[in-house]
Amino acid sequence: MAVYTSALPKGGSTKTSTAAEIALALARRGLRVLAIDLDQQGNLSTRLGITPETPIEATAAEVLDASATLWEAAEPAPTAQGVDVIVGAHDLTALEEQPPPDLVTSLRDMLPTVGGRWDHVVIDTPPNVGALTMAGLAAADHVIVSLQAATEAYDQLDRLEAVIAERLTRRIRPGLQISAVVPAMVDSRRLLDREILELLAQRYGDRVTPPVRQAVAVRDAYTAGMGVSVYDPDSAVAADYRAATDHLLNLTMGAH
């Protein structure tokens, strides 16, 4: 079982859209997927079809504070066949404000016990480097960065790499690093976008996936509670995401 954690300490970075597409790509390969939403906004849960009317046994916060197990909290994703989801909700805010001592290592310790039910896990994290993001990173086999082609997003790579090196690789996750970078919301007509792609290629080489273009369908898919590859599978942006996730999974699955 491999754990993919989508992280970048910046809002609007496209990391949730990419987390959903990774889960969908794994499911298309016939794998059983658990998606864990660690963001109190619950955007990954929404993109997988969870609505306020969806019956939920337990939330991600209840799993993290040991009030519920992963088995109890997992709900079938209504719009993602083959994917179960642990729902992110507002109770994560209180958990991050007053985290229990073992919060950072809690998921890392839980996930090996559920390998018989799920083949792979995809974790979406909040747009910060707080305790919940640290918990997602501590559980990761593969850290995935999805970022828009913008200077303010690119600059957060240094911050994320420093956090991984200083707070995780020394004791909790030796050897952890960014496994793949997904450039998203790219418009190749813009000079800045082309410059960001070149910088990413120089820095990460073949760990950079093919770019994902900017498209209204991504936002519309969120409103519909779907990944874009489900909402509009024949669209150009869905094809971009398939190319990006295929590249990403070919890279990471070779490591297992």
Model pLDDT for residues 121-130, shown as the tens digit of each residue: 999 999 999 9
Model pLDDT for residues 168-193, shown as the tens digit of each residue: 998 899 999 999 999 999 999 999 99
What per-residue confidence (pLDDT) applies to 200? 97
What phi, psi does 128 have (nearest 5°)? -155, -175
Model pLDDT for residues 7-22, shown as the tens digit of each residue: 999 888 899 999 999 9
Q: Quick count: other Cβ atoms within 10 Å of Cβ 165?
A: 12
Contacts of residue 199, defined as CB under 8 A and 6 or more positions apart, other chains included, come to 154
What per-residue confidence (pLDDT) applies to 13? 83
Q: Report the percent of the chain where pLDDT is more than 70.
A: 99
What per-residue confidence (pLDDT) applies to 255? 52
The mean per-residue pLDDT over the stretch 138-150 comes to 96
Structure tokens at 63: 């799993």
The mean per-residue pLDDT over the stretch 95-123 comes to 93
What per-residue confidence (pLDDT) applies to 12? 83
Task: Tell me: pLDDT of 256 over 70.
Answer: no
Taken in order 158, 159, 165, 166, is the CA torsion positive or negative?
positive
Model pLDDT for residues 29-75, shown as the tens digit of each residue: 999 999 999 999 999 999 999 999 999 999 999 999 999 999 999 99
The mean per-residue pLDDT over the stretch 136-140 comes to 98
CATH at residue 128: 3.40.50.300
d(CA 199, CA 48): 32
pTM, to two decimals: 0.96
What per-residue confidence (pLDDT) applies to 173? 94
Contacts of residue 123, defined as CB under 8 A and 6 or more positions apart, other chains included, come to 3, 4, 5, 6, 19, 35, 36, 38, 107, 136, 139, 140
- The string of DSSP letters for 44-84 reads HHHHTT--TTS--S--HHHHHTTSS-HHHH-EE-TTSTTEE
Strand partners, 146: 182
pLDDT band of 196, cuts 50, 70, 90? very high
d(CA 166, CA 147): 22
- The count of domains in the chain is 1
Mean pLDDT estimate for the chain: 95
Q: Which domain holds residue 130?
A: 2-253
What per-residue confidence (pLDDT) applies to 21? 98
